[in-house]
């Protein structure tokens, strides 16, 4: 049946609200137009920046090429080669002539810090006659010297570093080094070093930038910084550039720039030096004159939002109130209450949703109750199966003891041990009942102790001191035996003196308190705390010993039947050893 247009359905209300929201479309279009204009200006600015970056790369390549020409002129100078071949001293006319020529190169260019020729015999020709080398510096161990020898006569351009070979002069430089050979090219005569001042590279990088905050920096192929406007901060790791992300632009035909934290990064590669020249442009420098335009758009949008907001508020109030009520009811699912919504005054769709929710909650409640019953039954079954497991080593050792005593003719002991083993199994089975009397539990643990006492002979003694008034009270079967087994294997077996196990029981208020006390090895306070914590922890049985698994099983069964207020606790016994306390309710009936 087709519904008439009105306020009875959620669909009609959304339709009317969307009609009113059409007014907001004008504002959205204004935003789109503004964004389009900004993007156009941004792309144009970044394209200009790319052109400037290309010019910077060309100028740096030209600069390095010019410096390389100077190094070639010095390398091919016959007088330099003759001097290095003959290994003349500093007083020779050739030495003075070469030094003057090098000095002329330095004075002709304000961007050259030093030109030095280093011979393999240790001779040094500096371009500045007043240059004194630091005595503690081994020139032959410098990276520029080693790299020049490895380059085979090619020019090696270093990254930026502090040159320290000249006494009293520690300046940031970029070095060009080249090996000098004999005329036949067979003999290496030395290495030429040209140190370039930072000012020229700095001037080039700072002259071609976009905006007030933009800057350029240079890194080499090993990601060492050649130049950065904040060089000290970079080398101190107080400032970092996203070099890895910038490198991803290399070889990419689609990505022209990398954007991060309001900055745009572009990269070019120098074919001469292999340096990576990177420009950084701030987004705030690209869009600078849009403040008043943005304010106008914001005011227009605010007025439109007020109009739409007033209309939407009145229309949507009828929808949101029942939805909020339904939402509050649904929050009860988080707390496990699963409240019902009941009758609700709302649109047809929301009312139908509330009815479906109530139906779902009913089904969930039934499923949860069934699941709880199933899980409880499964847990009890698992514990019963674990409880029913017989320690094969205990059975094998007991049967071996019976055989050995039979062969030795100890018939009375055979009968006694066989009787105790039979009684132990009979009570363990107890016709499938989970609860037995404390009297039967005492008989069960006495049978176990009788067998162990006969096996270990004079290793330990025991006493059972449980009030006779408790004998007819019921208790979960096989409660004491795992605790006694734990006392024997983890307490008494670890000591040299004769062990003693004392089992006590009394009624404390509305509870029964049983204790198994041994004078065995005992535990530290830390071990005691860890054991008590592990009892209530979800422990993987595969990580427990047989005795530990049995004790944990007893604790879980008690809490499963009687609640978290009951179970086992470990304590240090007076005079050493361990005391395990069992707390169960006085009126324990089988469930």
Mind giving me the DSSP string for 458-478?
GGEEEEEEE-GGGTTSEEESS
Asked if 405 and 415 touch (Cβ cutoff 8 Å), the reply is no
pLDDT digits (tens, 9 = 90+) for 272-292: 888 888 999 888 877 666 676
Asked if 551 and 483 touch (Cβ cutoff 8 Å), the reply is yes
pLDDT digits (tens, 9 = 90+) for 351-371: 767 777 777 777 777 777 776
How much is the pLDDT for 332? 67
- The DSSP output letter for 217 is E
Helix (H) or strand (E) holding 41: helix 10-75
How much is the pLDDT for 390? 47
In this model, does residue 2 exceed pLDDT 50? Answer: no
How sure is the predictor about 463, in pLDDT bands with cuts at 50, 70 and 90? very high
What percentage of the chain has pLDDT greater than the value 70? 78
How much is the pLDDT for 588? 56
d(CA 455, CA 457) in angstroms, rounded, equals 6
Q: Comparing 577 with 40, which gets the higher pLDDT?
A: 577
Least confident span in 12-21, 51-60, 498-507 = 12-21
414-420 long-range contacts (CB < 8 A, ≥24 apart) are 416/450, 416/454, 417/450, 417/451, 417/454, 420/446, 420/447, 420/448, 420/450, 420/451
- The DSSP output letter for 436 is E
d(CA 124, CA 129) in angstroms, rounded, equals 11
Query: Topology of domain 389-585, per CATH?
Result: Heat Shock Protein 90 (3.30.565)
Top-confidence range, 322-326, 388-392, 483-487 = 483-487
**Are 1-288 and 389-585 the same fold in CATH?**
no
Q: Comparing 431 with 496, which gets the higher pLDDT?
A: 496
pLDDT digits (tens, 9 = 90+) for 550-570: 788 888 888 888 888 899 999
Asked if 279 and 53 touch (Cβ cutoff 8 Å), the reply is yes
- What's the whole-number mean pLDDT along residues 336-363? 68
How much is the pLDDT for 531? 85
- What's the whole-number mean pLDDT along residues 26-34? 72
| pLDDT, the chain, mean | 79
d(CA 570, CA 486) in angstroms, rounded, equals 12
- CA distance readout (Å), 399 to 238, 392, 439, 459: 77, 10, 26, 19
d(CA 216, CA 198) in angstroms, rounded, equals 14
Q: Shortest CA distance to 478 belongs to which of 392, 383, 338, 577?
A: 383
d(CA 28, CA 51) in angstroms, rounded, equals 35
d(CA 576, CA 499) in angstroms, rounded, equals 11
How much is the pLDDT for 512? 93
Query: Topology of domain 1-288, per CATH?
Result: Beta-Lactamase (3.30.450)
Q: Across the chain, how many H-helices and E-strands are there?
A: 17, 18
In this model, does residue 411 exceed pLDDT 90? Answer: no
Domain assignments of the chain as residue spans, ordered by start: 1-288, 389-585
How sure is the predictor about 391, in pLDDT bands with cuts at 50, 70 and 90? low
How sure is the predictor about 514, in pLDDT bands with cuts at 50, 70 and 90? very high
- What's the whole-number mean pLDDT along residues 478-499? 87
- What's the whole-number mean pLDDT along residues 40-60? 85
pTM to 2 decimal places? 0.45
């Amino acid at each position: 049946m087709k519904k008439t247009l009105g306020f009875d359905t959620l669909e009609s209300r959304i339709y009317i609200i969307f009609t009113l929201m059409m007014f907001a479309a004008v504002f959205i279009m204004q935003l789109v137009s503004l964004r389009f204009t900004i993007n156009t200006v941004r792309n144009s600015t970044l394209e200009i920046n790319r052109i400037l970056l290309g010019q910077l790369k060309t100028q740096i390549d030209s600069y390095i090429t010019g410096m390389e020409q100077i190094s070639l002129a010095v390398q091919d100078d016959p007088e330099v080669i003759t001097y290095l071949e003959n290994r003349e001293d500093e007083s020779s006319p050739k030495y003075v002539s070469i030094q003057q020529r090098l000095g002329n190169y330095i004075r002709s260019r304000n961007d050259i810090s030093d030109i030095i020729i280093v011979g393999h015999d240790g001779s040094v020709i500096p371009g500045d006659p007043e240059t004194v080398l630091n005595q503690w510096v081994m020139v032959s161990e410098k990276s520029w010297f080693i790299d020049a020898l490895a380059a085979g006569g090619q020019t090696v351009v270093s990254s930026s570093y502090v040159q320290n070979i000249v006494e009293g002069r520690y300046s940031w430089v970029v070095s060009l080094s080249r090996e000098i050979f004999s005329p036949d090219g067979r003999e290496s005569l030395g290495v030429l070093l040209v140190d370039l001042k930072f000012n020229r590279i700095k001037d080039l990088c700072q002259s071609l930038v976009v905006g007030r905050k933009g800057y350029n920096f240079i890194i080499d192929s090993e990601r060492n910084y050649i130049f950065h406007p904040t060089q000290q901060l970079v080398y101190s790791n107080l400032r970092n550039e996203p070099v890895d992300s910038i490198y991803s632009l290399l070889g990419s035909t689609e990505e022209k720039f990398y954007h991060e934290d309001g900055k745009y990064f572009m990269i070019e590669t120098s074919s001469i030096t292999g340096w990576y020249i990177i420009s950084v442009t701030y987004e705030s420098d690209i869009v600078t004159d849009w403040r008043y335009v943005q304010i106008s758009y914001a005011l227009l949008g605010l007025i439109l939002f007020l109009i739409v907001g007033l209309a939407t508020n009145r229309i949507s109030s009828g929808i949101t109130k029942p939805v909020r009520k339904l939402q509050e009811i649904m929050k009860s699912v988080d707390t496990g209450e699963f409240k019902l919504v009941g009758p609700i005054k709302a649109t047809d769709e929301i009312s139908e949703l509330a009815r479906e929710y109530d139906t779902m909650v009913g089904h969930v409640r039934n499923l949860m109750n069934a699941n709880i019953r199933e899980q409880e039954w499964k847990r009890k079954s698992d514990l019963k199966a674990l409880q029913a497991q017989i320690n094969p080593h205990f059975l094998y050792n007991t049967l071996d003891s019976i055989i050995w005593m039979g062969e030795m003719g100890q018939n009375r002991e055979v009968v006694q041990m066989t009787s105790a083993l039979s009684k132990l199994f009979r009570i363990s089975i107890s016709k499938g009942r989970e609860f037995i009397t404390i009297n039967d539990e005492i008989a069960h643990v006495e049978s176990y102790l009788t067998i162990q006492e006969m096996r270990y002979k004079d290793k330990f003694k025991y006493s059972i001191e449980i009030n006779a008034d408790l004998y007819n009270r019921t208790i979960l079967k096989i409660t004491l035996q795992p605790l006694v087994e734990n006392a024997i294997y983890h307490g008494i077996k670890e000591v040299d003196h004769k062990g003693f196990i004392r089992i006590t029981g009394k009624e404390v208020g509305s509870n029964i308190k049983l204790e198994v006390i041994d004078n065995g090895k005992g535990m530290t306070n830390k071990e005691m705390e860890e054991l008590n914590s592990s009892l209530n922890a979800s422990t993987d049985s595969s990580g427990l010993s047989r005795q530990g698994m049995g004790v944990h099983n007893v604790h879980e069964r008690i809490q499963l039947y009687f609640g978290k207020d009951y179970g086992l606790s470990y304590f240090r016994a007076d005079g050493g050893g361990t005391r395990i306390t069992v707390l169960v309710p006085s009126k324990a009936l089988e469930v």
